[in-house]
């Protein structure tokens, strides 16, 4: 299925575009579809984030800037041979200025001992940069990240706008070759753009009050280019687009244009009751059939009067078959969210 033409704006003339687009709209502002007394409530319901998953043979790392408007926050973790290191900060809602226009932009959080910033070039095919400087905390070493991303060699983008039961979703995802260093305490890891990747996860979504999803992602560099997947299962509106996809290298080898292929009807099946047990992940058409084996787990649980969060993310590796290609031990993540927000 070919993607729909990309609108300049997600909302034009008060009408929100839905579909799977060929690229990110220049202006992503879901609130433009609201007016009058409904707009402040829509602003409070809007959840925005810009996050990254870093894939490297010796480590897994994720970091995120996220804004729920009543509260902004950021998290970063690195799991390497020294163990799992995590840091987090909260900030005033709206203070992160997550961009409607990504290219160019410079969203960031800057607090005492905690700075994470992304610098996006004006051209999506340009060179982008991620930097983080997080001070040590009791029992948690410092983390330093300095990465450049090669937009010219990135995967084809996933760009989806879809209604949800009781809400709406917009997401933009892509995979970039990454170069630079990640330092945890006294351990420095060199990030090699011929091998290592950074997966972008951007959302501007009005999530339903009762929210749940299962989600996973992975990618690897092959001789032909980037091969990977973004897979999700959540309540959807029948007939609407899902956010699952395959990233495929050029069909004719290096230099050929990469593609993004839609997936749907993804199943996530735990193989046991063990929280660290493997998961089988597959598409109904059999194009994706992989097993995820965890190496570590991070979780968040909050129980409040009107709100609740039960979240976990596993880091590990995927093995199986993707679009007829064997996949062996490719790093990635898998997560679960069940919440009242």
pLDDT at 305: 59
Q: Considering the domain boundaries, does residue 5 fall inside one? A: no
3-class DSSP assignment, residue 44: helix
Q: Considering the domain boundaries, does residue 314 fall inside one? A: yes
Measured between alpha carbons, how far is 226 from 155 in angstroms, rounded to an integer?
A: 6
Would you say 303 and 279 are in contact if contact means Cβ atoms under 8 Å apart?
A: no
Q: Considering the domain boundaries, does residue 266 fall inside one? A: yes
Q: Six-digit token pair at 123?
A: 């051209």
DSSP-assigned letter for residue 5: P
Would you tell me how many other CB atoms lie within 10 Å of the CB of residue 169? 25
Q: Considering the domain boundaries, does residue 2 fall inside one? A: no
Would you say 11 and 30 are in contact if contact means Cβ atoms under 8 Å apart?
A: yes
Cα angle: 94, vertex 202, 253; to 5 degrees: 160
Domain of residue 173, residue span: 11-340
Measured between alpha carbons, how far is 227 from 246 in angstroms, rounded to an integer?
A: 8
pLDDT at 150: 97
| pTM recorded for the entire structure | 0.95
**Of 47, 94, 40, 116, which is closest to residue 337 (Cα–Cα)?**
47
Q: Considering the domain boundaries, does residue 4 fall inside one? A: no
**Domain count of the fold of the chain:** 1
pLDDT at 255: 56
* Regions in the chain scoring below 50 on pLDDT: 252-253
Would you say 6 and 24 are in contact if contact means Cβ atoms under 8 Å apart?
A: yes
Provide φ and ψ at 151, rounded to 5°. Answer: -65, -25
Measured between alpha carbons, how far is 216 from 143 in angstroms, rounded to an integer?
A: 24
Q: Considering the domain boundaries, does residue 218 fall inside one? A: yes
């Amino acid at each position: 299925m070919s993607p729909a033409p990309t609108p300049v704006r997600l909302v034009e003339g008060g009408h929100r575009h839905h579909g799977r687009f060929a690229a990110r709209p220049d202006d992503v502002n879901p609130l433009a579809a609201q007016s009058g007394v409904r707009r402040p409530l829509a602003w409070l319901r809007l959840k925005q984030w810009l996050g990254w998953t870093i894939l490297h043979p010796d480590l897994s790392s994720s970091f995120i800037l996220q804004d729920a408007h009543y509260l902004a926050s950021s998290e970063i973790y690195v799991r390497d041979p020294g163990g799992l290191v995590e840091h987090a900060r909260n900030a005033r809602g709206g203070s992160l200025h997550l961009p409607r226009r990504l290219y160019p932009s410079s969203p960031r959080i800057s607090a005492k001992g905690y700075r994470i910033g992304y610098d996006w070039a004006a051209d999506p095919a340009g060179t982008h940069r991620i930097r983080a400087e997080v001070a040590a905390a009791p029992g948690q070493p410092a983390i330093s990240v300095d990465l450049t991303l090669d937009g010219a060699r990135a995967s084809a983008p996933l760009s989806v706008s879809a209604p949800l039961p009781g809400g709406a979703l917009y997401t933009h995802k892509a995979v970039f070759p990454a170069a630079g260093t990640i330092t945890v305490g006294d351990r420095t890891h060199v990030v090699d753009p011929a091998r290592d990747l950074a997966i972008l996860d951007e959302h501007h979504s009005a999530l339903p009050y009762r929210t749940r999803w299962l989600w996973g992602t992975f990618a690897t560099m092959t001789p032909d280019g980037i091969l990977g997947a973004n897979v999700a299962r959540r309540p959807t509106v029948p007939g609407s687009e899902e956010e699952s996809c395959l990233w495929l290298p050029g069909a004719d080898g290096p230099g050929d244009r990469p593609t993004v292929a839609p997936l749907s009807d993804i199943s996530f099946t735990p193989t046991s009751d063990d929280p660290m047990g493997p998961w089988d992940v597959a598409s109904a058409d059999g194009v994706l059939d992989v097993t995820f084996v965890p190496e570590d787990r991070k979780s968040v649980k909050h129980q409040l009067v009107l709100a609740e969060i039960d979240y976990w993310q596993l880091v590990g590796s995927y093995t199986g078959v993707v679009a007829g290609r064997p996949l062996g031990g490719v790093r990635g993540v898998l997560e679960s969210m069940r919440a009242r927000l």
